[in-house]
């Protein structure tokens, strides 16, 4: 019987967590942020279950039950906030939340986006295969 080692589960859990973290940092849409947070929680849950199986006890699996309950509460609160923001501002962009700050607080300013890269230089035009076109003779300076 070929059993899967605990390292394989840990690698998959770490990949899930890392992908969720990258998505959470990079994206601005609230629904995508919510899904990335859920992906991070699932990566942690997979690691808990893998360690519980490896050590032969149920403590990690009990922790996963609490983690799933917390994720369900987070889902309810996040969806309520997303619906509230969409009803008020008709947008799911995170920067819209800055307009809803308390009076007296300065909104955080975002960095200016990078300028677009310069257009690439055109590649030299090569003649089609076959007879080489005649060259213009350049005058030689003596």
How far apart are the C-alpha atoms of 127 and 57, rounded to whole Å? Answer: 73
Query: Around Cβ 44, how many Cβ atoms within 10 Å?
Result: 17
The pLDDT profile of the chain, 142 residues, written as one tens digit per residue, is: 567 888 898 999 999 999 999 999 988 777 888 889 999 999 999 999 998 988 888 888 888 999 899 888 888 888 888 888 788 777 777 776 666 666 776 666 666 777 888 898 888 877 677 776 677 777 777 6
Instruction: Answer yes or no: pTM beyond 0.85.
Output: no
How far apart are the C-alpha atoms of 14 and 42, rounded to whole Å? Answer: 10
CATH architecture of the domain with range 6-90? Orthogonal Bundle (1.10)
Query: Around Cβ 29, how many Cβ atoms within 10 Å?
Result: 14
């Amino acid at each position: 019987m070929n059993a899967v080692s605990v390292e394989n589960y840990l690698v998959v859990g770490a990949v899930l967590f890392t992908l969720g973290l990258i998505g959470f940092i990079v994206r601005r849409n609230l629904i995508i942020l919510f899904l990335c947070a859920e992906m991070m929680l699932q990566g942690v849950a997979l690691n808990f279950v893998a360690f519980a199986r490896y050590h032969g006890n149920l403590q990690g699996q009990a922790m996963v039950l609490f983690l799933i309950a917390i994720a369900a509460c987070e889902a309810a609160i996040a969806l309520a906030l997303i619906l509230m923001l969409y009803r008020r501002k008709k947008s799911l962009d995170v920067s819209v939340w800055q307009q809803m700050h308390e009076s007296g607080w300065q909104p955080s300013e975002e960095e200016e986006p990078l300028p677009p890269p310069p257009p690439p230089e055109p590649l030299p035009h090569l003649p089609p295969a076959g007879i080489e076109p005649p060259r213009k003779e350049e005058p030689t300076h003596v």
